[in-house]
Amino acid sequence: MPRVIGHLDLDYFYAQVEEVEKPSLKERPVIVCVFSGRTEESGVVSTANYKAREFGVHSGMPIAQAKKRLEGHDSEVIRMDHEKYEVVSSRIMEELERLVDVLEPTGIDEAFFDLTGSTKGDYGEARKLAESIKDTIMKNERLTCSIGIGRSKVVAKLGSDMAKPGGLTVISPETTESFLAPLDASKLYGVGPKTTLTLEEIGIKTVGELAKADRSELEKRFGMKFGGYLLAAATGTDADPVVAGLEPTQFSRVVTLKRDTRDPGEVAEQLSEGIRYIHGKLTSSGKSFRTVTAIGILTDLSTKTRSKTFETSVSDPTVIRETVPALFDELSRTIGKDFRRAGVRISGLENAQDQTSLSEFLSPTR
């Protein structure tokens, strides 16, 4: 049975999350930026929506340069809010985990998955499943993504790259060779500028040419391991399995407050449901935790945190409810500004084999 491997990548992720929060942005060029703080404009573009990309703006570009390119085009500059994207990302990953046989997240906005078992190697079935995954993400999060399906990770990744934005590329085992052959070898996962140059030196430009290359020649140039990988990648026979994602290391929830406030009680109250969600995650995963963090996003959109770490790991989730107001109380005293958004994170997760009794964490350390 051929393997059925998928790769999913969310489109212009940070910027698309911002568009969902403020739909009028969809009509305008948007750049999400990381400000270094040195001068008002210093920093880089983290990502840009496709409207902004039309003007040549891209990830990693200095903010000043991006602004120049977007001058007169009614663009929006947004400060990167990593917590926010993390929260959306973990929700999507959890949902995906239910929809596929095995999920291997490889970044904040992407994951490999395996559908071999549930499709019994049927690529028509795989197409339907991939479409329903796209529909689910659209329905739940209003976000578009790109998916590639193929018989190996390398092929699946090429498929999702090619499908960008918003598409689906299904490369069945029968069409893999003809799909790969005309592509530039530099498109293959793991083939950077240096490898591309060396390949060109031995007369290889396309994946088809690489697939026909002499194994010993590749091994001589690139070493046994990477040489072998190149040949496998070029023939769509790289055998790397999809490995279930790492154990979660944290659970978090961030909400936008009904009104800006610095009252810890009011903040804790509005985080009630988020805390309940975290309780649920703790119980269902059988984890205990060491650290509770209060996350405050202020009216100037800066993020401030305050945490408390317990000496022993805690499995009683009511501790979160007790700790959060105190942490927000401390936070609000130091910042002198209102919170616009607020969140809770628990981390230092461990498997809760032995239940820690309440008395054991009554003397917390900082």
By the criterion CB under 5 A, which residues form the site for Ca ion? 9-10, 13, 109-110
- Of 9-17, 18-26, 293-301, 344-352, which part binds ligand DCP (CB under 6 A)? 9-17
Q: Which is nearer to ligand DCP, 35 or 226 (CB)?
A: 35
d(CA 33, CA 82): 11
Pair 33, 45: CB distance under 8 Å: yes
Distances (CA, A) of 217 to 192, 194, 204, 213: 19, 17, 12, 8
- Residue 235 per-residue DSSP state: T
Residue 89 interacts, among ligand DCP, Ca ion, none and using kind-specific CB cut-offs from 5 to 8 Å, with none
Q: Which residues does residue 255 pair with via DSSP β-bridges, in sequence order?
A: 342
Q: Map the footprint of ligand DCP across residues 187-246, applying CB under 6 A.
A: none
Q: Which is nearer to ligand DCP, 80 or 129 (CB)?
A: 80
Three-class secondary structure of residue 353 per DSSP: coil
Give the closest residue to 293 by CA, choosing from 86, 46, 109.
86
Give least dist CB 57 to ligand DCP, A: 11
- Hey, what are 130's tokens? 């991939």
**Sequence-distant (≥ 6) Cβ neighbours of residue 38 within 8 angstroms:** none
Q: Which is nearer to Ca ion, 107 or 265 (CB)?
A: 107
Instruction: State the catalytic residue, choosing from 76, 110, 131, 330.
Output: 110
Q: Which is nearer to ligand DCP, 2 or 62 (CB)?
A: 62
Which of 5, 6, 8, 14 lies at the binding interface for ligand DCP (CB under 6 A)? 14
d(CA 114, CA 153): 10
Is residue 127 at the binding interface for ligand DCP, with CB under 6 A as the rule?
Answer: no
Give least dist CB 87 to ligand DCP, A: 14
Residue 14 interacts, among ligand DCP, Ca ion, none and using kind-specific CB cut-offs from 5 to 8 Å, with ligand DCP
Which of 6, 11, 230, 274 lies at the binding interface for ligand DCP (CB under 6 A)? 11
The amino acid occupying position 164 is: K
Assign 3-class secondary structure to 266-300: HHHHHCHHHHHHHHHHHHHHCEEEEEEEEEEEECC
Is residue 106 at the binding interface for ligand DCP, with CB under 6 A as the rule?
Answer: no
Q: Which is nearer to ligand DCP, 14 or 361 (CB)?
A: 14
- Residue 336 per-residue DSSP state: -
76 is catalytic: no
Contact track, ligand DCP, 37-56, x by CB under 6 A: ---------xx---------
Residue 361 interacts, among ligand DCP, Ca ion, none and using kind-specific CB cut-offs from 5 to 8 Å, with none
Contact track, ligand DCP, 158-187, x by CB under 6 A: ------xx----------------------
Q: Which is nearer to Ca ion, 13 or 85 (CB)?
A: 13
Assign 3-class secondary structure to 179-197: HHCCCEHHHCCCCCHHHHH
Pair 274, 255: CB distance under 8 Å: yes
- In this chain, which residue has its C-beta nearest to Ca ion? 110
d(CA 317, CA 61): 44
Give least dist CB 265 to Ca ion, A: 39
- Hey, what are 291's tokens? 């650290």
Give least dist CB 160 to Ca ion, A: 9
- Residue 166 per-residue DSSP state: T
List residues near ligand DCP by CB under 6 A.
9-14, 46-47, 59-60, 108-109, 164-165
Residues that are catalytic? 110
